[in-house]
């Protein structure tokens, strides 16, 4: 993957993101993937003058994750989308839609956790 990847932990994530902001980096987005059973990998992507920098964070899905929407206001939509897709909690989210941003209130199945691989019909 192009760009530098820095590993962070749950304790220093907000500090690292604040460093990125003071450095003049522009916030791009987050990407998430399933690291292992019950663990979620989050990649924070930043950009400055067309060069990419990434921060990688691996968390357990049942503990709340510190939110960076106080540092970057633009992160609030992505964090709400991650709440919808993986059913995790964010600590300190500025505007919380409580899993109704995309999904309807009565939907209980979590989209990206239930791994359904259907074989194409013969």
Partner 1 sequence: MATTVIPFGPQHPVLPEPVHLTLKVEDEIVKEAVPALGYVHRGLEKLADIRDYHQMITVCERVCGICSMIHGTCYSQCIEEAMGVEVTDRAKMLRVIWSELHRMHSHLLWLGLFADAFGFESLFMQFWKVRERIMDINEATAGSRVIVSVNVIGGVRADLSPDQLRWILSELDVAEKEIKEMQDTIMNDYTVKTRTCGVGVLSYDQAYELGAAGPTLRGSGVASDMRMSGYGAYGELDLEPIIETSGDCWARSTVRFREVLQSIDLVRQAISKLPEGEIAVKVKGNPPAGKEVYARVEQPRGECVYYIKGNGTKHLDRLRIRTPTFANIPPLLAMLPECELADVPVIVLSIDPCISCTER
Binding site for partner 1 (CB under 8 A): 1-3, 21, 26-29, 31-34, 43, 45, 47, 50, 52, 54, 72-74, 76-78, 95, 100-104, 111-112, 115-118, 120
Residue 32: name the closest of 116, 113, 117 by CA: 113
The residue count for the chain: 122
Residue 8 backbone class (left: φ over 0; alpha: ψ -120 to 50; beta: rest): beta
With respect to partner 1, which residue has the nearer C-beta, 11 or 108? Answer: 108
With respect to partner 1, which residue has the nearer C-beta, 12 or 34? Answer: 34
* Least distance from partner 1 to the Cβ atom of residue 44, Å: 12
* Least distance from partner 1 to the Cβ atom of residue 107, Å: 11
Instruction: Classify burial at 37, counting beta carbons within 10 Å of its beta carbon; exposed 0-12, middle 13-18, buried 19 or more.
Output: exposed
- Close Cβ partners of 35 (under 8 Å, ≥ 6 residues apart): 41, 58
* Least distance from partner 1 to the Cβ atom of residue 95, Å: 8
With respect to partner 1, which residue has the nearer C-beta, 16 or 81? Answer: 81
């Amino acid at each position: 993957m192009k760009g530098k990847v820095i590993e962070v932990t749950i304790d220093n994530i907000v500090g690292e993101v604040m460093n990125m902001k003071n450095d003049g980096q522009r916030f791009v987005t987050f990407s998430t993937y399933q690291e292992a059973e019950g663990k979620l990998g989050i990649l924070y992507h930043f950009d400055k003058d067309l060069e990419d920098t990434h921060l990688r964070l691996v968390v357990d899905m049942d503990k709340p994750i510190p939110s960076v929407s106080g540092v970057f206001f633009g992160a609030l939509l992505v964090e709400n989308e991650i709440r919808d897709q993986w059913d995790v909690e964010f600590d300190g989210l500025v505007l919380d839609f409580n899993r109704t941003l995309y999904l309807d209130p009565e939907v209980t199945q979590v989209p990206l956790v239930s791994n359904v691989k259907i074989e194409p019909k013969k």
